[in-house]
Amino acid sequence: MSDGLARNWWAVGLRVIAAIAFIFILTLPRPTVASLITAFGVYVTADGIFAIISGIRAIQRGERWKMLILEGSINLAMAGVILAMPELAIIPFVHLTSAWAVLTGALALAASRRLADGYGRLLLAFSGGISIAWGALQAAAGPAAETDASKLANWLLAYSISFGVAMLALSIKLHRSAITTTSARRDF
């Protein structure tokens, strides 16, 4: 497990909190398309900030985590587009979020290759796979999801829960690794 990433387990955990907040927003009564898009923009903003924090802290410790910073930057760019144009029609929103999910999922898969720990690597790869799968399924659903805000909300809810669970498991694994590493250093 990367020591730098393990020490920053809390930043991964903050991504879980962002996912939970987004899940809560999606469970509110019948969101309109504009509020759904805005809620997603806020979620992507928080997720991007926390991904960048994770990457910067790892780099400061000599780790190579440029993929996390790139993922966070893409998230912030996506959030900027969404929040600048909340009146964005649902059809381009669906296509934009599908592309975003596939791209950030691929970056998470690439970042997972840098982890030495098999379980942590698997969890990060799994979260990337969830993003890719959601983006591909969302794109494939096409018109069915594009015309109904409640269907879109259900797709986003399924993605947020799956991604949040994967990030929670990774955060716990990183925290345990950080505790083990700290204990081992004290023993010397």
Q: Which domain holds residue 150?
A: 3-187
Domain count, the chain: 1
Q: What is the pLDDT of residue 1?
A: 47
User: Among residues 156, 157, 54, 69, which one has the least CA distance to residue 107?
Assistant: 69
- 117-126, 136-145, 160-169: the lowest-pLDDT one: 136-145
Residue 49 has what pLDDT?
A: 93
With beta carbons less than 8 A apart as the criterion, state whether 121 and 159 touch.
no
How far apart CA 77 and CA 61 sit, in angstroms, is 26
% pLDDT > 70, the chain: 72
pLDDT at 186: 58
Does the structure show a pLDDT above 90 at 76? yes
> Position 79: which residue type?
A
DSSP states of 81-93: HHHH-TT--HHHH
Highest mean pLDDT among 49-53, 56-60, 92-96 belongs to 49-53
Quickly list H helices, the chain: 3-7, 9-26, 33-60, 66-84, 90-112, 118-141, 143-146, 149-187
Is the pLDDT score of 83 beyond 80? yes
Percent of the chain scoring above 90 in pLDDT:
7
User: What average pLDDT does the segment 144-150 reach?
Assistant: 61
Q: Report DSSP letters for 157-185, one per residue.
A: HHHHHHHHHHHHHHHHHHHHHHHHHHHHH
pLDDT tens readout for residues 11-51: 777 777 777 776 666 666 655 667 777 888 888 899 899 88
pLDDT of residue 90: 61
Give the type of residue at 75: N
Mean confidence (pLDDT) of the chain: 77
In whole angstroms, how large is the CA radius of gyration of the chain? 17
pLDDT of residue 175: 80
Averaged pLDDT, 129-139: 87
pLDDT at 142: 66
